[in-house]
Amino acid sequence: MLRSFKVAALCASILLASGMSPFHAAYAQSAPQFQSEQQARQHCPRDTVVWVNTKTGVYHFKGQRWYGNTREGAYECRGEANDEGDRATRNGQ
């Protein structure tokens, strides 16, 4: 048991020394969120604006059923949404 603790401590030390944290995802910055499509478009004029369901992390494109229509959500730039770990809807809605 002491040996497994030493191995875990060594791995954590290596990760921290290399600048990586074992809890890196927990500290990821969230993408800027906007209340209107226009605000998001101004922030990222060369990217696609998506509606992110902030509860599920699934985003929808303009013209899809849930674009701007989920209870919890915001407009974001697609690239920034991808960077924070959100993903496109799989069923086209």
Q: Is the domain of 78 the same as that of 40?
A: yes
Q: Is the domain of 63 the same as that of 93?
A: yes
Q: Is the domain of 51 the same as that of 67?
A: yes
Distance CA 2, CA 23 (A): 23
DSSP-derived secondary structure for 18-76:
TT--TTGGGGPPPPP-BSSHHHHHHH-TTS-EEEEETTTTEEEETTSTTTT-SSSEEEE
In sequence order, what are the residues at sequence separation of 6 or more whose Cβ sits closer than 8 angstroms to the Cβ of residue 79? Answer: 44, 47
Q: Is the domain of 57 the same as that of 38?
A: yes
Q: Model-level pTM greater than 0.85?
A: no
Q: Is the domain of 42 the same as that of 86?
A: yes
Q: Is the domain of 2 the same as that of 22?
A: yes
Question: pLDDT 10s per residue in the chain (93 long)?
Answer: 545 545 445 445 554 454 444 443 444 568 899 999 999 999 999 999 999 999 999 999 999 999 999 999 999 999 999 999 999 999 999
Tally of structural domains, the chain: 2
